[in-house]
Amino acid sequence: MTKDTAKNGAYSLRKKDPVRWVALAGFFMALNIVFSSWGIPVPGGHLYLCDTVINIAAILMDPVAAFIVGGLGSFLGDAIFYPAPMFVSLVTHGLQAVAVSLIAHRAGASDTRSKQFRMSLVGVLVGAVIMVVGYTLGKIFVYSTLQYAIIKLPYEIAQALLGVVGSLFLCFKAGILKIYRRMELNN
């Protein structure tokens, strides 16, 4: 591992291999669009898995890529399938992704796995709060009713928590982070 990779982690991929960086950002953005169009039906609504994809991309990649995946991916997904909240999605998921990425990368690639996990946990929890607050305020703005936003609040919280648990499990237990680090070092 070079000193640059150890110090900057995900930031090095954008500099060392921009084609791979664009391809990965595009891949995660496509996953975000797919998972924002398909939800798990629950009584009274749906839980969408796009938060899991956004958090994974933010844990793995730099804040610029995270914004592309979270903000632009959610914007395009909404523009294709349900355009009313697309600008709310752009801002909310964009801020969520950038916050997660910035906090998660406070632990460098050379830090211990437990520190990386703790910083990623803090990042995705902060991102969950940003998502819940952003969508609640966005629903008040888009639909002009506080009551609708309050009714949907439990679904927003459940979706955010699903994103937190799913992304941490896939990155740290299922090995996505390890695979990404290996790919990053093979540049």
CATH number at residue 57: 1.10.1760.20
Encode burial over 65-102: b for 16+ CB neighbours within 10 A, e otherwise: bbbbbbbbbbbbbbeeeeeebbebbbbbbbbbbbbbbe
> Given the structure tokens 């803090």, which residue do they identify?
122
Instruction: Determine the structural domain holding residue 79 and report its residue range.
Output: 3-185
Q: Residue 152 has what pLDDT?
A: 86
Segment holding 46, helix H or strand E: strand 45-48
Instruction: Please state, in angstroms and rounded to a whole number, the distance separating the CA atoms of residues 77 and 100.
Output: 20
Structure tokens at 180: 């990404």
> What is the count of structural domains for the chain?
1
Three-state DSSP state, 83: coil
| Overall pTM > 0.85 | yes
Give the pLDDT means over successive 10-residue stretches in the chain (187 positions): 46 81 96 90 86 97 96 94 91 97 82 89 97 93 85 92 97 93 78
